[in-house]
Every structure is written in C-alpha cells, then in structure tokens.
Amino acid sequence: MKIKKWITNNWQIKLISVLLAAIIWVVVVNVDDPVQTVTIPNISIEIANDDLFREQGKTYTVIGSLKMSVRVTQRRSVTSRLSASDFKAVADFSDIYQEGQVPVKVTCPSGKVSSTDYIQMTQSLEIQAEELKTVTQKVTVQTNGEPAEGYMVGETSVSPNEITITAPASFANKIRKAVVNVDVSGISEEVNSRSSIQLLDAYGDVMATGDLAEEDFHISSEEADAKVEILNIKSVPINVSVGGIDQVASGYRYTGYEVNPEKAAISGLKSVLGKVTIEIPADIADVAGARGDVTKTVFIKDYLPEGVSLVDGEKDEITITLKVEPLQEREFQINVSDLQLENVGAGLTVEFVGQEVTVKVRGLEEDLKKLEAEGLTGHVDLDGVEAGIHPVQVDVGLPDAFELVEKPTVTVRLVEPATEPVSGETSESSSEPENDGGNEPQ
C-alpha cells in the first residue's frame, strides 16, 4: 500500500520530472554527439564483368576518374570513424542499361552505416566503347648511325618479317611501321642481333603500349632477329673499248673518248669488289663511218657483275663522247740538200734539179700547227737508176700523228765520170822515117 500510495501521490509532479529528464538527456546527447552530414571522398571504383564486353570484340576507355564520393548523414561519433576504405564501389558491366554508362553500386561492408545513411555522388561510370581491331604489319630493319669509313649498309632481313597486332581501333589505325633498331656505328662487318619490335606512327614516333590494358593489346611477337649486311665501297674508273677506229669516214680521225662521270662508286662484299672493273664493250662504243663526235648514253648497272651494285645516290646513267675530228692539210718545203741519198750507182754523181721539194702532210689542225719542216726527213732511193735525168719519189719520215697526202717527187741528174787516155798512147802516128846520122841525101 505504501508503494502504491507513493506512486499515486503527486504523480503529476513525478511525470513532469521524467519528461524533463528525457528532454535534458536529448539535449545533452545532441550537444555532445550531434547528427551531421559529411562527404567521404576517394572511394575507388572497381570494374566487374568487363570480360563480357571484350567477348563481343569491344574494349573501352573510362572517361573521367575511377574515384567517387558518398555523403553520409549520421552522428558525429559514427562519421568521425568513417573512411574511404569502409565503402566499396563497383561498376558492373553486366548491368549496363545505357550505351556509355555503367551503373555504380556502393555498399558499406564494414557495417558502420546502413544504405539509408549515405547518398552516392556518382551514379554511373562513363566509358567510351570501341572495337578491338587486328592488323597485320610487315617488320623492317631500321639502322642507326654510320658504318666505318669505306663501308655502307647493304641488304637487311628480319625474322619474323610479319606480325599481327590486336588493339583498340583508335590505336591500331595509327600504326604505320613495325621496326627493329640496329646500331651500325663504326661497323665494318655483318651484324646479327635480336631486338624489340617497335610500332611507329605516321610521324615516325614510337607508339607507347603501356597505357593499354593488358587484355586490350596483343602482339604475335615482341622481338625479332635482324641481320644487316655491311658492304665495302669502291670507286672504279669506267673503261671503254672503242670499235671501228680505223673505219671512220675518209678525212677524219678518231682521237679518244670522254666519260661523264669518269668513275662510279660501287658496293659489294669485299671478296667480290676487289676484282671488279667496269668495261663498256666495243659494240656499244663504235665510230665506224663517223664524220664527227659520237655520243652514247649507257646504264652502268647493265655492266655490273652479280652481287655488286651502285652506291645509293650514285648516278646510273653515264655519257660517252667518242671524239672524231676532221683532218687538215699543210705544205712544207724541204731543201734538196737535206735529202739523204741511198743506193747510188757506182761512179755516178747525183745532181738535183731544183732547190726544194714540196711535201703535203695531213693531220689534225692542232698537231699541224706544231709541226716544223725541220722535223721532216726525206730519203731518195736510187737503186737501179742509171745515168741521166730522172724523176724519183721521196720517202718522207713523219711522226705517227701525220700522214702524207701523196709521195713527193724530185728530179735528179746522174752523171758518169769523164773518160781519160791510156798512158804511152798517141793520137797520131809519124809517117816520116827516122834520120840515121842526120845526113841528108845528096
């Protein structure tokens, strides 16, 4: 009864006291541990089931960041203990509902807050989808540096010489070359090396593949074996065999040839190059019947042996000029006293009729200007010529550059010596008898 009486007595006051206490508690709690809204940043977005996308021959590029934030409303005692690691954000490609948008779902595996306590700031992940493309590209050798002096880069080969590349279309469409680099600086012999294959764009820049997802890029071979031939360089003269030299038109003479250029730079293996000469045959350079210079155009490569070629940049076409000049005539006077007599008959005396003999010489104008009469020698052969006056030919000695228009003729008088009487003979005999004492008849 006492308890009941205690409860029922002044119950209004007691109820007010309880309500007051509750209010005070609520006030205290809200002052010390208030409800607040905070943002939790830098929550990593995980990708799920993107293999389903690639199975369709597609790939994607994320536009923007793979980080997101959530906004949490909870008491300070709870929010103060939250961090990005308490949340898990997943972009699931199996839930794509709109092209270019992958839904993002956020959970709180730590259980510190419920799904009703936060709002995710990013609802979907924006992507740019594109096709995966497979291309085939030939592999070539790209040399760097210069070989040793007197050498040059020859043929190159590489194995494999072709590769296939699978990559996003935006990447694959930019590939222009696949190369392996070989340094030949100062090299004088064949180079064999294994090098990484590099992909080059239209500007010759190396295309970086590191930014591509491993699943989005495949190359059939990352390395290749390269072989670089190093050739010897040699400068050789161009020799010409000229045909028909003695068959030029009458009154003309072949005087030589000019070649432009005179030499050619060729390349090849040292063992082969040492024996090489460039010979243009006579059937190409022929002057038969020519009445002036003859010009021929010749391609050197047609006269190079197998394994030998012109150096890059060397002119293949040469010009051969076969010089054919007209002959001129000039007269010279030789004193007969300078002629040498040969085979004069015994006892005969030779006298010349006239003081000079005229010699007509044919030759090149330039040579004729230099020729002097003193340089001419004449011989008269009188073998079998008897006493009397006779015209005889003169053999004229000329340098090889000249020829006689015709043999000159000189007139000679061959005289026999006078006959003398024999000793003791008289021309008349005496008819009178000798006087024998000097006595005259009576």
pLDDT digit string, tens, across residues 124-163: 999 988 899 999 999 999 999 999 988 998 889 999 999 9
Which pLDDT value is given to residue 141? 96
The percentage of residues in the chain with a pLDDT greater than 90, rounded to a whole number, is 48
Distance (Å, whole) CA 378 – CA 398: 9
Residue 22 vs residue 339, higher pLDDT:
339
CA 300 to chain centre: 17
The percentage of residues in the chain with a pLDDT greater than 70, rounded to a whole number, is 88
- What mean pLDDT comes out for the span 392-404? 87
The DSSP call for residue 432 is S
pLDDT digit string, tens, across residues 170-202: 999 999 999 999 999 999 899 999 999 999 999
Q: What is the DSSP track for 43-88?
A: EEEEEESTHHHHTTTEEEEE-S-SEEEEEEEEEHHHHTT--GGG-E
Q: Return the ∠ at Cα 224 (arms to 197 and 229), rounded to 5°.
A: 110
Which pLDDT value is given to residue 421? 52
The DSSP call for residue 21 is H
Query: What's the chain's length in residues?
Result: 442
46 touches 90 (CB < 8 A): yes
pLDDT digit string, tens, across residues 243-268: 999 999 988 999 999 999 999 999 98
Both structure tokens of 423? 């000793």
Phi-psi region of 10 (alpha: psi -120 to 50; beta: other; left: phi over 0): left
- What mean pLDDT comes out for the span 3-9? 59
Residue 20 vs residue 27, higher pLDDT:
20
